[in-house]
A = this chain, B = another copy of it.
Amino acid sequence: MSEISTGMTRRNLLAMVGIAAGASAMYSAMAGMGYAGASDYKGPLKLEGDPKGTSVLILGAGLAGMTAAYELRNAGYKVQVLEYREKAGGRCWTLRGGDVFTELGGFKQEVKFAEGNYLNPGPWRIPSDHYAVLDYCKRFGVKLEPFIQQNYNAYLHNTNAFGGKPQRFKEIQADYRGQISELLAKAVDQKKLDELVTEEDAALLIESLKKYGVLNDKMEYVKSDDVSGYRGWEKDPGGGVDSAGVPSDIISLSDILKGRLWNDLITGESIDHQAAIFQPIGGMDMIAQGFEKEVKDLITYNVKVIKIEGGENGVTATYVDSNGGTEEKTAKADYCICTIPFSVLGQIDHNFSSDMTAAIEDVYYASSVKVGLEFKRRFWEQDEHIYGGISYTNTPITLISYPSTNFFSDGPGVLLAAYSWGAASYQFNAVPAEERIEKALEFGAEIHPQYREEFSNGVGVGWHRVPWTLGCYGVWRDMDAHYDNACKMDQRTLMAGEHISHLPAWQEGAILSALDAIQRLHKHVTGA
C-alpha cells in the first residue's frame, strides 16, 4: 500500500479505513462519503450540428467506450473502437459455465457452473437512481429483475460475538432500534433533554418513538407479541388448535453493542442500495451485449494499444495483437476518447501533457476480490428461508450474497461467497487462485454449516490480477489537484470511464463520463 503515502485526502482516508477496519467498514465509508449515489443523467442525448466527417478513435469497448461510439455515430461522426479483449463490456462482465479466465501470472480458471448460473465479477446491481444505465437497458431491450439487497432473514455475523453464531438481521435490527428508542423516550420523559427538545416536540417525540421502537405504554421494549411481530417469534403462529404464536426473547442492547452487530444495520439503506434496485436477467453482461449489438461493427477486437500520440492533426494509436503479436499497426482519427483505465494507461507510451500525466499517476486502482461458489442445492432457501439479500460478517469474505433470481428452484445455485476490498481482499489476492475457493469455503462455513457438504465448484477473481484493469476501480489520491485536469482535452484526447466521474466503480459513472466527454467534444468540433 505504498500508494497511499502521499497525504491525507478523502480517498486516502478511505484506503486507511480499509486497512484498519476491514472491508465492510471501507464499503460503508465509501457510501457515506458520497462515492456512491444517484445520477445526474438527463435523458437521451441530442447532439445537434453537423460534425462534417470528423473522425473519433475510441480506446476501450467497455460501457464508456461503447456509449461514446453509439452516440457519436448517431451524431454523424466516423467512429472506430479498439478493444484489448475478444469481446466488449470491460468490467460489465459475467462468468458462466464453460468460460475460461486467465489472470496475470497465467493462472487459468475454467468455470464449471451449471447452465443458467453465473457470477458477475464486476458490477452486480443497478440502483434505481442510475438513470442512464436504466435508460440504455430500456432502449437496448435488456430485461431487468429486482435485486434483493436487504433481507431481514439474512445474517449478521461476528466471530467475536454470540459465540460466533450468526444472528438474523431482523432480530438485531428490531432489538437495536427498540432499545435505543426506549432510552431516548425515557430520557425525554424524565426531562433530561429539555435543552435539546422543546416541550411541544417532546410529547410527539415520545409518541413517535413508541411507534418506531415498538415500545409498550411504559416506553419499554420488552418480549411481547408486538415485538415478535418485528423480530420474529419463538414459535410461529399457525392454524387451528394451539396455534397462537409464542413471543421470542430479545437480545440486550449491551450484547448487540459489544458484538458490534450494529455495524451493518444501515448498509443496505445507502442511496445506491435502497430498494428497489435491479439486475439484468441472466447476468450483468447482458448490458454489455445490449451495447455491443449496436456498435459491434465499429470495434476491432484483440488489440493492445502500445502508444498514443496526439497533435494538431489528430491522434494516432499504435497497437499490436493482444495475444502476443509483434506487428505494429496504427489507427488514426481527428480526436480520441480514451477509456483505458489509468492503471493500464500509465504503462502505455503517450505524449499527454505533464498535468495529464500527473493525473494518470494520481489514480491507483482499488484492490477487490469476488469469489463465486456453486452448491448442489439452494440450502439457504430450503433450510434457512433466505431468498436473496446479503449476510455480513467480520471475516475476510465480508459478505455472502444470495442469488436474486430463479428463487425456489431445485438445481444448483451460485453464491457470491466473498466480496472484499482493501485489507480483507489481500488475504485472497496473496494466495494462489485455487486457494481462494478454499478460503471462501472456510469462512463461509462459519455462517452456513452446509457449505462443505453441498459444495460443487467455484471461481475467484482478484481484480489486481485482471490484465486489462489491474484493479477494481480508480481511486484518486488527490482528486482536488488532478481531477479537473483529467477532464480537459489534451492532445485532442478526452478521458472517459468510471474514474472520470463522481460515481466511481459504478457503470453509471462510466456512461455519464462518456456522455459528458462527447458533449464537450461535439461542442469543440461544431462550435455549437
Chain A residues engaging chain B, CB cutoff 8 angstroms: 28, 31-34, 36-41, 128-129, 131, 134, 137-138, 144-146, 148, 150-153, 170, 173-174, 176-177, 180-181, 183-184, 186-188, 192-193, 196-198, 201, 204-205, 208-209, 211-212, 214, 225-226, 228-233, 235-241, 243-245, 253-254, 257-258, 260, 262-263, 265-266, 269-271, 274-276, 278, 385, 387-389, 404, 407-408, 484, 487, 496, 500-503, 508-517, 520
Contacts and interface: CB of A to CB of B under 8 A. Distances in A.
B193 A239 contact: no
B183 A266 contact: no
A126 to B, nearest CB: 11
Question: How many copies of this chain are found per oligomer?
Answer: 2
Nearest to A152: B274
A516 B512 CA distance: 58
Contact of A501 (B230, B237, B385): B237
A214 B32 CA distance: 8
Given A137-B408, A233-B37, A500-B239, A385 B211 contact: no
Contacts of A196: 183, 186-187
Contacts of A38: 232-233, 236-237, 245
Given A212-B262, A266-B230, A275-B152, A520 B240 contact: yes
Contacts of A205: 180, 253, 257
Contacts of A238: 39-41, 501-503, 512, 516
A69 to B, nearest CB: 16
Contacts of A514: 239
A265 B208 CA distance: 10
A33 B192 CA distance: 31
Residue among A129, A229, A276 facing the most chain B CB atoms (10 A cut-off): A276
Nearest to A479: B244
A237 B387 contact: no
A146 B418 CA distance: 24
Contacts of A511: 239
Contacts of A237: 34, 37-40, 501-503, 509
18 contacts: A32-B226, A32-B229, A38-B245, A40-B235, A146-B404, A148-B275, A183-B187, A186-B196, A192-B193, A204-B257, A208-B263, A211-B262, A211-B265, A229-B270, A239-B513, A240-B520, A241-B487, A275-B389
Contact of A240 (B138, B239, B243, B517): B517
Contacts of A265: 211-212
A200 to B, nearest CB: 8
A508 B407 CA distance: 19
Given A40-B238, A187-B196, A238-B501, 13 more contacts: A32-B226, A134-B408, A152-B275, A173-B269, A180-B212, A187-B192, A192-B192, A204-B258, A212-B265, A228-B271, A231-B271, A237-B509, A275-B388
Contacts of A274: 151-153, 170
Nearest to A228: B34
Contacts of A181: 180
Q: Considering the complex of A and B, which 4 residue pairs feature the smallest CB-CB distances, nearest first?
A: A240-B516, A239-B512, A239-B513, A34-B225
A208 B274 CA distance: 21
Contacts of A260: 204, 208
Nearest to A497: B239
A468 B364 CA distance: 68
Residue among A31, A184, A404 facing the most chain B CB atoms (10 A cut-off): A184
Contacts of A388: 146, 275-276
Residue among A204, A243, A407 facing the most chain B CB atoms (10 A cut-off): A243
Contact of A131 (B33, B193, B385, B496): B385
Contacts of A36: 229
